[in-house]
Amino acid sequence: MLDPKPAPSAPQDPPDQPPVIPHVSLFTIFKIFFPIGALGFGGGLVGWLYRDIVEKRKWLRDDEFLSMVTLGQVLPGINMANFSIYVGQKLRGIPGAAVALTSLLLVPFFFVIGLAAIYTELQAYILVQHFLAGMAVAAVGLMMSVMVKSGKRTMRKVTPAVIVIGIVFTVGFLRWPMVPVVLVAAPISVAIAWFTRERAHA
């Protein structure tokens, strides 16, 4: 999770409009997002996108890119999909967005269904069951390693740590429904963050 920058008190104007982006073919959009989806194991995709889309092709400004990344942490939804639709829309409107998202998900969609079809044939074998169960818990490890690395800052203060533990306990162990818990906890957490914000020193 990114460090928030020290807060000025007023919203910033976006920089002057950059030169018009030349017309990009839908096929080019496909060429960008298809490999990301096809090869997208684990993390690191954000850096790849940055090098390609911001540095090399200049389809996004730095500030736009940063906004999309931080929005991904604040808004619900799948970050990479949000990215693809944003870039696609910016380049070629709705067709661009549709092509971007479809290209991104093409390989994952068919690959994962392919795995499920193979699994259906093999699921009766106890060895396969055990192997997949081990894979599932290892996948939990994958997920949690990212959380540990990015969550260290969050867990340093008492209030966020209490909120995290509370949610893990209620939603994870007690199996309370997630929606009411979030609807209560999120506004409280944001309000506390607001009232404990660092004021700029005079």
Partner 1 sequence: MRDEDILLTLFLVFLPLSFMSLGGGASIVAPVHQEAVEVHQWMTNRQFIDYFALSRAAPGPGAMVFTLVGWAAAGWWGALIATLTIFVPTSIVTYMVAGAWNRYRGTAVHTALERGLAPIALGLITAGAVVILDTSDTGPLGWAIAVGATAILVWRSLYPLWILGAGGCVYLLGMMLLS
Residue 56 CB, nearest approach to partner 1 (Å): 21
Stretch that binds partner 1, among 16-24, 25-33, 48-56, 71-79 (CB under 8 A): 71-79
Residues 6+ positions from 154 with CB-CB distance below 8 Å: 1, 160, 161, 164
Based on the shown chain and the rule CB under 8 A, indicate whether residue 12 belongs to the binding site for partner 1.
yes
Exactly one of 32, 53, 101, 103 binds partner 1 (CB under 8 A); that residue is: 101
Residue 113 CB, nearest approach to partner 1 (Å): 6
Query: Which residues, numbered 106-125, are part of the site for partner 1 (CB under 8 A)?
Result: 107-109, 111-113, 115-116, 119, 123
Exactly one of 26, 30, 40, 46 binds partner 1 (CB under 8 A); that residue is: 40
CB atoms within 10 A of CB 151: 15
Stretch that binds partner 1, among 20-28, 49-57, 61-69 (CB under 8 A): 61-69
Widest pairwise Cα distance in the chain? 69
Residue 44 in tokens: 């690191």
Residue with tokens 């990015």: 150
Residues 6+ positions from 39 with CB-CB distance below 8 Å: none
Residue 169 in tokens: 């306990």
Torsion of CA 51, 56, 60, 62, to 10 degrees: 60
Query: Which residues, numbered 167-186, are part of the site for partner 1 (CB under 8 A)?
Result: 167-168, 170-173, 175, 177-179, 182, 185-186
Based on the shown chain and the rule CB under 8 A, indicate whether residue 69 belongs to the binding site for partner 1.
no
Query: Which residues, numbered 128-147, are part of the site for partner 1 (CB under 8 A)?
Result: 129-145, 147
Based on the shown chain and the rule CB under 8 A, indicate whether residue 20 belongs to the binding site for partner 1.
no
Q: Rounded to whole angstroms, how far apart are CA atoms 109 and 111?
A: 6
